[in-house]
Amino acid sequence: MLLVLLCEDKPIQLKEYCTIIQNHIMINEFNSKLQIATSNPIDIIDFLTREAIEIFDKNILVFIDIDLKNEITGLELGKWVRTSFPLAQIVFITTDIKYLFLAVEARISPLDYIVQNHSNYNIKGRIEEDLRYAYDYYLQCLNLKKELFKFKLGHEIKILPLNDILAIEASTNPHKVILSTLSEKIEFSSSSKDIHRQHIKLLKINRGILVNPENIIHFNVSKRLVTLTNSCRYEVSFRHIKDVKRAIKAP
């Protein structure tokens, strides 16, 4: 889903932009939602911080009035979003072109910079164009995201290519799992059940153990052991023998 967030401190413009965004999403039947429309940048920061792990599954488009009359300016909000969510799409809206240069100096790299002036400026058209561009980008990312594995480690969100994962197994520490790659082992809070639900490409071979079938190099059926590319071996339960055979024979 493409999540759209809007921060504008002028009530008339806030209402106008909400209507433009919601109508365009509805007319085009986008898998998108105007999640937040607010005059307070703290609302944006709180939401993105609270939902960080979940919204990595989604694309984010943030419309920001760069000249917010708030303790946190629009430029500062844009910098925070860019630092915390590098793939987010950011659109600045303002009445003063001077802020464009400040955004460039801050290396925020916005998707668009909409300047309101006294001429007949088609701000509605620009917002709709930005929505379509961000939605097209979201569609292109769908297949890529299916091949990525994200997890929370402490206060950080980590992302790995799914093919780098060899195995995930339950840890001796409660409510934690151990993820193995060729170069490291990482322990983090989760369960193999939840992970398997989100990543069906990973193969369940035993209670609390998932392996990446792409990284199985040998399966000893009689001993019920799979060998992975790091030479580690894992026991396969009787009920999952057929699953392993099917997975390693799949093209």
The string of pLDDT tens digits covering residues 70-98 is: 899 999 999 999 988 888 999 999 887 77
Contact (CB, 8 A) for 7 and 24: no
Is the domain of 85 the same as that of 120? Answer: yes
Task: With a cut of 60, say whether residue 118 has pLDDT above it.
Answer: no
Q: How many domains does the chain have?
A: 2
d(CA 99, CA 94): 8
What's residue 146's pLDDT?
Answer: 64
What is the phi-psi region of residue 141: left when phi exceeds 0, alpha when psi lies from -120 to 50, beta otherwise? alpha
pLDDT of residue 181: 95
Which of 130, 146, 162 is at the close of a domain? 146
Average pLDDT over residues 163-181: 96
- Asked if 129 and 173 sit in the same domain, the reply is no
On average, the pLDDT of the chain sits at: 90
pLDDT tens column, 18-69 = 999 999 999 999 999 999 999 999 999 999 988 875 665 568 999 999 988 8
Residues 128 and 174 in one domain: no
Range of the domain at 186: 152-249
CATH of the domain at 158: 2.40.50.1020
Q: Residue 209 in contact with residue 226, Cβ under 8 Å?
A: no
Joined tokens for residue 143: 């297949």
Domain of 14: which CATH number? 3.40.50.2300
Task: Name the pLDDT band for 250 (thresholds 50, 70, 90).
Answer: low
Span of 89-93, 141-145, 206-210 with lowest mean pLDDT: 141-145
If you ran DSSP here, which 8-state letter would residue 86 be given? T
Q: Is residue 31 domain-shared with residue 125, that is, in the same domain?
A: yes
With cut-offs at 50, 70 and 90, classify the pLDDT of residue 234: very high
Q: Based on the fold, state whether residues 114 and 27 are members of the same structural domain.
A: yes
- Measured CA to CA, the distance from residue 67 to residue 194 in angstroms comes to 43
CA 86 from centre of chain: 10
Q: End-to-end distance of the chain based on CA atoms, in angstroms?
A: 30
Amino acid 56: pLDDT: 57
DSSP 239: G
Higher-scoring residue by pLDDT: 187, 99: 187
Inter-residue contact 66 to 99 (CB < 8 Å): yes
Total number of residues shown for the chain: 251
| CA–CA distance, 202 with 162 (Å, rounded to integer) | 9
The confidence score (pLDDT) of residue 143 equals 65
What whole-number distance in Å separates Cα of residue 40 and Cα of residue 43?
6
Looking at the predicted structure, is the pLDDT value of residue 171 above 60? yes
Same domain, 24 and 81: yes
Same domain, 199 and 109: no
Do 191 and 210 belong together in one domain?
yes
Final residue in a domain of this structure, among 146, 169, 191: 146
Nearest-CA neighbor of 108 among 73, 80, 131, 136? 80
Do 156 and 140 share a structural domain?
no
Render pLDDT for 211-233 as a digit per residue (tens, 0 to 9). 999 999 999 999 999 999 999 99
Give the mean pLDDT of 134-143: 84
CB 59 within 8 Å of CB 4: no
User: Is there a contact between 75 and 99 (Cβ–Cβ < 8 Å)?
Assistant: yes
Report pLDDT for 51.
82
CB 212 within 8 A of CB 162: yes
Which residues on adjacent β-strands are paired with residue 14? none
* pLDDT of the residue at 100: 80
Same domain for 119 and 211, yes or no, is no
Pair (122, 194) in one structural domain: no
Share of the chain above pLDDT 90, in %: 67
Q: What is the mean pLDDT of residues 193-198?
A: 92
The answer to whether the CB of 150 falls within 8 A of the CB of 53 is yes
Q: Are residues 164 and 96 in the same domain?
A: no
Residue 251 confidence (pLDDT) above 50: no
Instruction: Answer with the one of 96, 114, 146 that is the final residue of a domain.
Output: 146
Q: Determine the average pLDDT of the residues in 141-161.
A: 80
Measuring CA to CA, how many Å separate 132 from each of 13, 24, 51, 76, 213?
21, 9, 24, 26, 37
Backbone angles phi, psi at 215, to 5 degrees: -110, 15
